[in-house]
Structure 1
Amino acid sequence: MLSGPVLDRLIAAVDSCPYGTSAGRTHRQRTPRPLYTPEERVRRDATPWTMVQGILAPVQFLVFLVSLGLVLNYLATGQGLWAAEASVVVKTLVLYTIMITGCVWERVVFGKYLFAPSFFWEDVFSMLVLALHTAYLGALLFAWGDTYFQMWLALAAYAAYVINAGQFVWKLRIARLQARGT
């Protein structure tokens, strides 16, 4: 049975609450891992995949905004179904592109295609984003549900995308702050 130090170590492994002492746990001083080690920073700055990611991210966001407008227009008016569907397909293809190139970038910088410690939770949530976008493609291709269901599925995928994009913007900010501090 799990008890004592074994249970404490398991909890400590997943405990990320910054208010541990307020919750009755003893204060543990942990030095957070920097987002990039000096070697990883050199690899990040040297690889052309960093520039590819830097270009694809705002392109994807622009495609998202246009598609969001088309999807919302269709849901509000019932007009423009073809444009809305096509825009979600384009958004999904751009997402696949940025995910594949992001995996290559992560491999070059961190030595892993996915789930490097610095971007673990962003990659986990990216899998949900990919699953929802892929579910939309499946619904469209195999005519699952009516068009309103498909558009609401696209909106669910877009909501997940916004959260995931926020995660990556936050990490970009952390990286800049850490670079400024070194």
Structure 2
Amino acid sequence: MSQRGSRTRQPLYDAQQRARRDATAWTLVQGVLAPLQFLVFLVSLALVLRTLASGEGAFAANVSIVAKTGLLYAIMVTGSIWEKVVFGRYLFAPAFYWEDMVSMLVLALHSLYLVALATGWLDTTGLMLLALAAYASYAINATQFLLKLRAARLQAGPALHLSPEGAR
């Protein structure tokens, strides 16, 4: 038997944290902002790829990247508040440590894009490639959070799966 198979996993939330998570409006805010950000990401990704492939549509691509970055900042600020309410700290709570670490890379790359756009530091191709790097890190981070959400639902047991109210 592998060592991994014999280890018991620490629950993502204890009873008090779960109660705080379920009671705070910040959980709903995250639940709205995350899919909105993902939708903007998909549209923006298509615009960035179009610009790289054809050289056309740079303005629309840049506007979409700025919009995506604005949503990223909003979800990071509100997510930090959520983490403070649920876990008692704004960032790097043990349950979300690695997600927060990767989020710092995501923020850095998106912020670097804004600086490059504002200063003219990169040409259009450079901006689009930087956006793709930022988007790749975002995709990794979004996957981390989706896996964490899945783990939380599995740990919650059948009540969460049977009751629509439990999904909040």
Q: Under a length normalisation based on structure 2, what TM-score does the superposition of the two structures give?
A: 0.90
For residues 178 and 172 of structure 1, what CA distance do their matches in structure 2 show?
Answer: 10
Q: Deviations over 1:41-87 (max 9, x none)?
A: 00000000000000000000000001001111111111111100010
Q: Which has the larger radius of gyration?
A: 1
Q: Deviations over 1:102-145 (max 9, x none)?
A: 00000000000000000000000000000000000011001112
- What is the deviation of 1:32? 2.3
For residues 134 and 169 of structure 1, what CA distance do their matches in structure 2 show?
Answer: 23
Q: Is 1:65 aligned to 2:42, yes or no?
A: yes
Q: Following superposition of structure 1 onto structure 2, how do residues 123-138 of structure 1 map, counting pairs within 5 Å? A: 123-138=100-115
Q: Is 1:75 aligned to 2:62, yes or no?
A: no
The runs of at least 4 consecutive aligned structure 1 residues that moved more than 6 Å come to: none
Q: Is 1:155 aligned to 2:148, yes or no?
A: no
Q: Is 1:87 aligned to 2:68, yes or no?
A: no
For 1:169, the equivalent position in structure 2 comes to 146
User: Any stretches of 5+ residues in structure 1 without a counterpart?
Assistant: 1-17, 22-26
- Name the aligned partner's letter for residue 134 of structure 1: S
Q: Is 1:117 aligned to 2:94, yes or no?
A: yes
Q: Following superposition of structure 1 onto structure 2, how do residues 44-59 of structure 1 map, counting pairs within 5 Å? A: 44-59=21-36
- Name the aligned partner's letter for residue 37 of structure 1: D
Q: Is 1:33 aligned to 2:10, yes or no?
A: yes
Q: Is 1:141 aligned to 2:124, yes or no?
A: no
- Aligned identity (percent) is 62
- Name the aligned partner's letter for residue 104 of structure 1: I
For residues 7 and 83 of structure 2, what CA distance do their matches in structure 1 show?
Answer: 25
Report the secondary structure of 2:145's partner residue.
helix
For 1:15, the equivalent position in structure 2 comes to none
For residues 3 and 122 of structure 2, what CA distance do their matches in structure 1 show?
Answer: 46
For residues 181 and 40 of structure 1, what CA distance do their matches in structure 2 show?
Answer: 19
Please give the root-mean-square deviation of Cα atoms over the aligned residues, in Å. Answer: 1.7
For residues 38 and 158 of structure 2, what CA distance do their matches in structure 1 show?
Answer: 29
- What is the deviation of 1:33? 1.4
For residues 157 and 116 of structure 2, what CA distance do their matches in structure 1 show?
Answer: 46
For residues 57 and 81 of structure 1, what CA distance do their matches in structure 2 show?
Answer: 25
Q: Deviations over 1:121-176 (max 9, x none)?
A: 00000000000000000110011121101100000000000000000000000000
User: Any stretches of 5+ residues in structure 2 without a counterpart?
Assistant: 160-168
For residues 127 and 19 of structure 1, what CA distance do their matches in structure 2 show?
Answer: 33
- What is the deviation of 1:20? 5.0
Size of the aligned set, in residue pairs, is 159
